[in-house]
């Protein structure tokens, strides 16, 4: 029997969790833990933050409220399965009853995976986001989770997945379950005031890549489209200001909101930027945000036949001169230049020799399926050579 509604718009939509947003709201950490019934949380952060005042102050706030809080910080910039295993061991050794994710995307990804794994019986990568593997996870074995971002990039605080490198084959793998979404989020822009300009730029471009790929992804999801457009307007308003004046709290607030909005919007899909960035990060240990910043215009130019109208609509929404694809591309190239983003993939460690491997990995990456045009190993290889040469090339035929 034919479906009379086959050509009408359809979609499955899920939007995020409870968020406390605003400067100074880290003081509400004990209340967020209490809401989830947590008295002995394990705070998961990274080595670069663990001895800084923002972590020490958060721990002091928790302790003053009577919480027995532990700290785990063995987290790599591109986190791997060992980091998660070590975090689970620390959780069990301390007899904790919840997790506080505190830091940038790496710390948040590890914390979310730890909170999921503390009560599971299978290895971490048995829960990779493939087919229905997420149904292998026992939700009763997951512990409560509070997420507190200290960068404005990944938006992992409002996501249902973690990206973890499998050391056995050096691939980044997505671990997914709907209940990996943190139960409570504290978005305190004041926590980002000390972030260096370079990291502010790299993480901010990462947020833009999420918003931009979600906006360009095929499919009917007007909620995600609206969030993506407004998120890019906040990037336009805040990113350069936050990089040039790290004490600009309004700009920091715009970027923290845009970061969460990006992770909310990309439930619609990602694409070639992330399909390339994941293997480059896993194999070359390049920073994820910087990698997205480098590859961004090359993927956009390739996808032009499928996204020309979308980019023109973006240009109109941002009130750019020209109101067309070229105006949007010019804005992105100008933003990259102002933020001192390298134009060539050589800055990431890309060489002619590693292109074939990275291209095959890009085709296999889950993000490839969301690209507006088919993203095969051949396409990835073409783009990687353009990226290495610093040549934007031409759109797909």
- Please report the pLDDT score of residue 170 as a whole number: 85
252 and 167, same domain (yes or no): no
CA 348 to CA 105: how far, in whole Å?
A: 19
Q: Which residues lie across from 102 on neighbouring strands? A: 148
> Residue with structure tokens 């990089």?
243
Cβ atoms of 112 and 45 within 8 Å: the answer is no
Cβ atoms of 128 and 177 within 8 Å: the answer is no
The 10s digit of each residue's pLDDT in 40-89 is 999 999 999 999 999 999 999 999 999 999 999 999 988 999 999 999 99
Domain extent, residue 201, equals 197-389
Helix or strand run (H / E) with residue 97: none
Of the pLDDT bands very low, low, confident and very high (cuts 50, 70, 90), residue 172 is confident
The 10s digit of each residue's pLDDT in 334-357 is 999 999 999 999 999 999 999 999
182 and 49, same domain (yes or no): yes
Asked if the structure places residue 396 within a domain, the reply is no
152 and 270, same domain (yes or no): no
331 and 371, same domain (yes or no): yes
- Please report the pLDDT score of residue 14 as a whole number: 60
- Please report the pLDDT score of residue 108 as a whole number: 97
> Residue with structure tokens 């973006």?
314
The 10s digit of each residue's pLDDT in 106-137 is 999 999 999 999 999 999 999 998 889 999 99
- Largest interatomic CA distance in the chain: 65
**Looking at residue 77, which CATH number applies to its domain?**
3.40.50.1970
Asked if the structure places residue 8 within a domain, the reply is no
Asked if the structure places residue 7 within a domain, the reply is no
**Looking at residue 314, which CATH number applies to its domain?**
1.20.1090.10
108 and 55, same domain (yes or no): yes
Q: Is the dihedral of CA 318, 319, 320, 322 positive or negative?
A: positive
The pLDDT of 182-192, averaged and rounded, is 94
137: nearest Cα among 109, 116, 156, 161: 116
Asked if the structure places residue 13 within a domain, the reply is no
250 and 342, same domain (yes or no): yes
128 and 225, same domain (yes or no): no
- Please report the pLDDT score of residue 131 as a whole number: 87
182 and 322, same domain (yes or no): no
Cβ count within 10 A of residue 353? 7
**Residue 151 DSSP one-character state:** S
CA 255 to CA 239: how far, in whole Å?
A: 6
Average pLDDT in the chain: 94
The 10s digit of each residue's pLDDT in 252-295 is 999 999 999 999 999 999 999 999 999 999 999 999 999 999 99
148 and 102, same domain (yes or no): yes
77 and 47, same domain (yes or no): yes
The pLDDT of 374-397, averaged and rounded, is 97
CA 10 to CA 6: how far, in whole Å?
A: 9
CA 254 to CA 251: how far, in whole Å?
A: 5
The total of structural domains in the chain comes to 2
At which of 192, 208, 238 does a domain end? 192
The 10s digit of each residue's pLDDT in 237-264 is 999 999 999 999 999 999 999 999 999 9
Asked if the structure places residue 35 within a domain, the reply is yes
112 and 254, same domain (yes or no): no
Of the pLDDT bands very low, low, confident and very high (cuts 50, 70, 90), residue 364 is very high
- Please report the pLDDT score of residue 12 as a whole number: 61
At which of 175, 192, 209 does a domain end? 192
144 and 41, same domain (yes or no): yes
Distances from the Cα of 100 to the Cαs of 27, 111, 209, 340, in angstroms? 14, 7, 26, 34
Q: Is the dihedral of CA 84, 89, 93, 96 positive or negative?
A: positive
At which of 164, 192, 220 does a domain end? 192
């Amino acid at each position: 029997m034919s479906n009379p509604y086959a050509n009408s718009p359809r979609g499955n939509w899920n939007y995020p969790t409870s968020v406390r947003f605003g400067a100074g709201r880290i003081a509400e950490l004990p209340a967020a833990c209490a809401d989830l019934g947590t008295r002995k949380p394990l705070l998961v952060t990274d080595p670069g933050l663990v001895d800084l005042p923002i972590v020490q102050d958060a721990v002091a706030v928790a302790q003053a409220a009577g919480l027995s809080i532990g700290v785990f910080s063995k987290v790599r910039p591109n986190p791997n399965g060992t980091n998660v295993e070590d975090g689970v061991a620390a959780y069990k050794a301390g007899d904790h009853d919840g997790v506080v994710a505190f830091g940038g995307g790496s710390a948040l990804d590890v914390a979310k995976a730890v909170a999921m794994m503390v009560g599971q019986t299978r290895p971490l990568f048995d829960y990779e986001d493939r087919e229905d593997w997420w149904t292998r996870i026992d939700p009763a074995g997951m512990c409560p989770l509070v997420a507190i971002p200290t960068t404005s990039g990944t938006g992992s605080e409002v996501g249902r997945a973690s990206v973890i490198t499998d050391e056995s084959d050096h691939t980044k793998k997505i671990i997914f379950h709907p209940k990996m979404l943190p139960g409570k989020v504290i978005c305190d822009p004041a926590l980002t005031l000390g972030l260096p300009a370079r990291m502010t730029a790299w993480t901010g471009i990462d947020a833009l890549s999420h918003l931009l790929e979600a906006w360009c992804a095929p499919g009917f999801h007007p909620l995600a489209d609206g969030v993506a457009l407004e998120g890019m307007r906040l990037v336009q308003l805040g990113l350069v200001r936050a990089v040039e004046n790290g004490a600009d709290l309004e700009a920091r607030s715009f970027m923290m909101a845009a970061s969460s909005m990006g992770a909310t919007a990309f439930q619609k899909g990602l694409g070639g930027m992330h399909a390339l960035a994941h293997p480059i990060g896993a194999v070359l240990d390049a920073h994820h945000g910087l990698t997205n910043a480098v590859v961004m215009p090359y993927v956009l130019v390739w996808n032009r036949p499928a996204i020309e109208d979308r980019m023109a609509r973006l240009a109109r929404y941002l009130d750019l001169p020209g109101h067309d694809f070229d105006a949007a591309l010019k804005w992105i190239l100008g933003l990259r230049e102002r933020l001192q983003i390298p134009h060539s993939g050589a800055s990431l460690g890309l060489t002619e020799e590693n292109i074939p491997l990275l291209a095959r990995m890009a085709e296999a990456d889950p993000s490839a399926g969301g690209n507006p045009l088919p993203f095969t190993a051949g396409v990835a290889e073409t783009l990687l050579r353009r990226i290495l040469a610093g040549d934007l090339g031409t759109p797909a035929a």
